[in-house]
Structure 1
């Protein structure tokens, strides 16, 4: 079984650390640029401005030791298992980000709204709606 992840690119964002980043893109995400590695340019065929996509990222600043967290970081709420939350702190910190493509220029894809910090590795892009994809 091959479980190796391939980094296909990186998010370039004005968010520089977790403390300034919203919990979800719809809560203050910004326009950001995905820089796709040249080796994966062919995989971009079919992407277009206005398309809704889902980004899968590797949340590299996450703490992988957590199994329980306070939901949304609110310490007044009791801890629950990370699998019932969207916390970045989890055994495998895979991020899920629904965004819209606002532009494409070569290997750069501009998207909105993204809440990933600058330099976040991109592990996949999926079509958000794929009945015919």
Structure 2
């Protein structure tokens, strides 16, 4: 049986004067295809309620351990947040932004988990691995 998740994923991406808004929107939609973006004062914002496409990109890139580390490092209560590079997202890749933001800004994502809990949702999006291979719940 699969679990039912209730999550709110808030996305914000700055759009600088030197950038094409549609390209930034494409970058966001590559990570979150269901995002309906609103353009507000120099940024695109959206809220979605799933991270399946994002999870698939993490699996394909084999960066589940990195993602788990980023998610758990920012976890506070039922919320975790992270930034990803816009250019990598435009190219269909996830590249977590750490340290100083890039010159054009990064895509900021805040995830609030309502059900069941944040740790379980992180396990769903970026499952624990053994030797780089996701561990299924029956393996634990």
TM-score where L is the length of structure 2: 0.30
Structure with the higher helix share, 1 or 2: 2
State the TM-score, normalizing by the size of structure 1. Answer: 0.31
Considering fraction of residues, name the structure with more strand: 1
Query: Larger RCO: Structure 1 or Structure 2 (Cα < 8 Å, ≥ 6 residues apart)?
Result: 1
